[in-house]
Amino acid sequence: MISLVKILHGVSINETIGTLDLSIRHLTFDSRLVETDDLFIAIKGTFQDGHAFIDKAIALEARVIVCEQLPAVINDHVTYLQVEDASYTLGLMAANFYDNPAAKLKLVGITGTNGKTTVATLLYKLFTELGFHVGLLSTVQNKINDQVIASTHTTPDPINLNKLLQQMVVEGCDYCFMEVSSHAIVQHRIAGLSFVGGVFTNLTHDHLDFHKTFDAYLKAKKAFFDGLGKSAFALANVDDKHGKVMLQNTLAYKKTYGLRNIADYKGKIIESHFNGMLMQLDGREVWTRLIGTFNAYNILAVYSVAILLEQDSTRVLTILSRLSGAEGRFDTQLSASGIVGIVDYAHTPDAVKNVLETIVGLRKNTEQIITVIGCGGDRDKTKRPEMAKVATKLSDKVILTSDNPRSEDPKQIIEEMEQGVPKDSRKNVFAITDRYEAIKAAVHLAQPADIILVAGKGHEKYQEIKGVKKVFDDKAILRALFAEIDN
Ligand SMILES: CC(=O)N[C@H]1[C@@H](OP(=O)(O)OP(=O)(O)OC[C@H]2O[C@@H](n3ccc(=O)[nH]c3=O)[C@H](O)[C@@H]2O)O[C@H](CO)[C@@H](O)[C@@H]1O[C@H](C)C(=O)N[C@@H](C)C(=O)N[C@H](CCC(=O)O)C(=O)O
Ligand SMILES: Nc1ncnc2c1ncn2[C@@H]1O[C@H](COP(=O)(O)OP(=O)(O)OP(=O)(O)O)[C@@H](O)[C@H]1O
Ligand SMILES: N[C@H](CCC[C@H](N)C(=O)O)C(=O)O
Ligand SMILES: [Mg+2]
């Protein structure tokens, strides 16, 4: 049991009904999870309004209700707290409930449309090899030292987030590297956390279903930097046209990285190969197993953070040269006949462009590039034609298929993708709704040395169709199909 007064530290309350002199068992924003003596907070969400579930929470013996609008009928056994912004309040209360774990370790947040998982994962690996105890919160997985905890979101909800951070503190973590999604910023999942630094990777088209306009998406990302304290660093990619804006109003000390523009941390690609790149970081050469200009940015961001966190540059470069990237990002396998299969999590137009440009840059001309690609349902529809357009432009053949259709009709999603295919390219574009059959068709179309890109699902081990998640793993499927043709 934790005292309500402690949980309310720093929270501004407009109106209080009932006593504050009590303790509660858990915090929850989901009425279905309420137990005796819990605090239920009503959130106005994307689909539902938590205020509609206050009665249910009380029926399950919630002791405290936090809400933006007080209900018409008040129960004498319950304390009601009316606040301006329930989502923000939830963030603060969750941090208090778990005794402000973020302040007890060095927390670095990484935001941007693409590259968050890669940068956070590389930082986790680098700092672990540097000898620290490290936590990671990412789309692929959460980690506390060696312990893996399944991830449900890129950035968890405030309760799970602070709980994970508290476990990291208990396990002696010195650092935590976490992805900060734009949803998390708008929904205040990170309210009340103290960061020692923030990183901006880039900003391109995504999530307009949620943010509605690109400007609102940009403002969401910027709010993260605006919220950093003056002892933190704010590190931005200045080759991205939005890099400077991110740093405009932050109190944190501003640092920049870039391959092209003047920056505090400079990088350069010297050579690119299918198995890695030779780069220059701050004038010193380093080999990396990652490939593509986009990964040169990721490596440079990781190096810059390590230097900002006062690590020895020689040790950092030595370790960086050994590190592999995150699972399902430019994940390459070869068939016995010599077909190159690449699984990549590219699910935005910019990511598809970057990955395909890297492949085009590395091929020797005679090989064809066959791309298998779909777009997620219940997500930004405006990126569908864009993703198909760029895939068609940079591939010899494209198979449009399903990603996670979720509640949508997969055929309709593919039709929306087809709108982006230029008329003169249609002969090279096929539609196969079943993702397994689409990958199989690509494998059968391919000749030795051809390159197959399977885009969009990367590390994901399931496919979500009409609310059902069935086991599905691009990498394993590709491996099995390669084995089949090789026998
Ligand atoms: C669109 C979105 O971001 N939704 C997130 C949001 O839910 P919400 O508040 O909008 O939920 P809602 O269904 O409208 O319900 C409103 C409130 O009523 C409550 N409720 C509802 C029903 C009931 O019976 N009782 C009850 O109390 C709910 O618990 C909720 O508090 O807050 C929840 C708790 O934090 C999240 O789990 C949920 O993520 C959903 C599942 C989701 O799919 N989110 C994705 C889009 C997401 O967050 N993605 C980002 C970025 C991805 C990336 O690019 O990497 C991420 O960080 O993962
Ligand atoms: N720095 C980058 N710039 C542009 N594209 C990138 C960059 N890094 C990775 N990508 C592309 O974006 C895909 C997703 O990368 P990653 O998982 O690191 O991004 P993310 O920001 O974590 O994505 P999400 O928003 O889904 O969490 C990669 O598979 C690759 O295609
Ligand atoms: N975390 C992101 C990634 C989407 C990946 C893609 N496979 C999809 O399902 O759309 C999202 O929820 O928008
Ligand atoms: Mg991610």
In this predicted structure, the answer to whether residue 449 has a pLDDT above a threshold of 90 is: yes
Listed residue (282, 298, 281) closest to 290, CA to CA? 298
Whole-number CA gyration radius for the chain: 24
155, HSE (Cβ side, Cα atoms, 13 Å): 24
Judged against a pLDDT cut of 90, whether residue 364 lies above it is answered with no
Strand residue runs (E) in 211-346: 233-237, 253-258, 265-273, 276-281, 284-288, 331-334, 340-344
Across 343-357, average pLDDT: 97
Q: How far is CA 338 from CA 190, 240, 272, 282, 478, in A?
A: 47, 37, 20, 37, 13
Token couple for 287: 């080999």
Ligand 1 atom with minimal separation from the 152 CA:
58
pLDDT tens figures, 21-33: 999 999 999 999 9
Please provide the DSSP assignment of 316-379 as one string. HHHHHTT----TTSSEEEE-TT--EEEEE---SHHHHHHHHHHHHHHS-SSS-EEEEE---TTS
* CA distances in angstroms from 475 to 334, 348, 402, 450, 480, listed in the order given: 11, 20, 16, 17, 9
Can you tell me the distance from the alpha carbon of 453 to that of 82, in angstroms, rounded to the nearest whole number? 52
Query: Which ranges of 371-459 does DSSP label H, i.e. alpha helix?
Result: 383-394, 410-418, 435-445
What is the average per-residue pLDDT within 149-166? 98
Q: Tell me what the mean pLDDT of segment 215-220 comes to.
A: 96
Q: How far apart are CA 208 and CA 205, in angstroms?
A: 8
Counting beta carbons within 10 angstroms of the beta carbon of residue 104, is it exposed (0 to 12), middle (13 to 18) or buried (19 or more)? middle
Percent of the chain with pLDDT over 70: 100
139 Cα nearest atom in ligand 1: 55
- Find the mean pLDDT for residues 313-328: 97
pLDDT band for position 487 (50/70/90)?
confident
Residues with CB under 6 A from ligand 3: 139, 154, 347, 376, 379, 403-404, 456-457, 460
Would you say residue 353 has pLDDT above 90? Answer: yes
Q: Ligand 1, atom 11: nearest CA belongs to which residue?
A: 45
For the CA of 140, the nearest ligand: 4
Indicate the length of the chain as a whole number: 487
- At residue 264 the predicted structure's pLDDT band, cuts being 50, 70 and 90, is very high
Residue owning the nearest CA to atom 7 of ligand 3: 457
126 sits in which H/E element = helix 116-129
Q: Does residue 366 surpass a pLDDT of 90?
A: no
Q: Is the pLDDT of residue 104 over 90?
A: yes
- Ligand with an atom nearest the CA of residue 119: 2
Average pLDDT over residues 96-105: 98
The letter for the amino acid at 97 is F
Atom 8 in ligand 3: which residue has the minimum CA distance?
376
**Per-residue pLDDT, 237:** 98
pLDDT of residue 254: 98
Indicate if ligand 2 lies below 6 Å from the C-beta of 29: no
Distance, in Å, from the CA atom of 297 to the CA atom of 239, rounded to the nearest integer, reads 9
Question: Which residue's structure tokens are 């137990």?
Answer: 35
Q: For residues 240 and 233, give the distance between their C-alpha atoms in angstroms, rounded to a whole number.
A: 18
End-to-end CA distance of the chain: 62
pLDDT of 365 above 90? no
Residue 195 has pLDDT above 90, yes or no: yes
Q: What is the pLDDT of residue 407?
A: 97
The pLDDT score that the predictor gives to residue 185 is 98
Instruction: Please determine, for residue 274, whether its predicted confidence score (pLDDT) is greater than 90.
Output: no
Average of pLDDT values for 104-113?
A: 98
Mean per-residue pLDDT over the chain, rounded? 97
Assess whether pLDDT exceeds 90 at residue 334. yes
Residue linked to tokens 């002199």: 21
Kindly give the number of the ligand 1 atom that is closest to the alpha carbon of 44. 16
Tell me how far apart the alpha carbons of residues 122 and 302 are, in angstroms, rounded to a whole number.
7
pLDDT band at residue 384, thresholds of 50, 70 and 90?
very high
pLDDT at 462: 97
Confidence band of 486 (pLDDT split at 50, 70, 90): confident
Measure the CA–CA gap between 339 and 442, rounded to whole angstroms.
11
For residue 460, give the ligand 3 atom closest to its CA: 7
- Average pLDDT rounded to a whole number, residues 133-142: 98
Burial of 392 (0-12, 13-18, 19+ CB in 10 A): buried
SS3 call for 218: helix
Residue 44 CA, ligand 1 centroid: distance in Å: 10
Which pTM does this prediction carry?
A: 0.96
Q: Rounded to an integer, what distance in angstroms lies between the CA atom of residue 117 and that of residue 112? A: 10
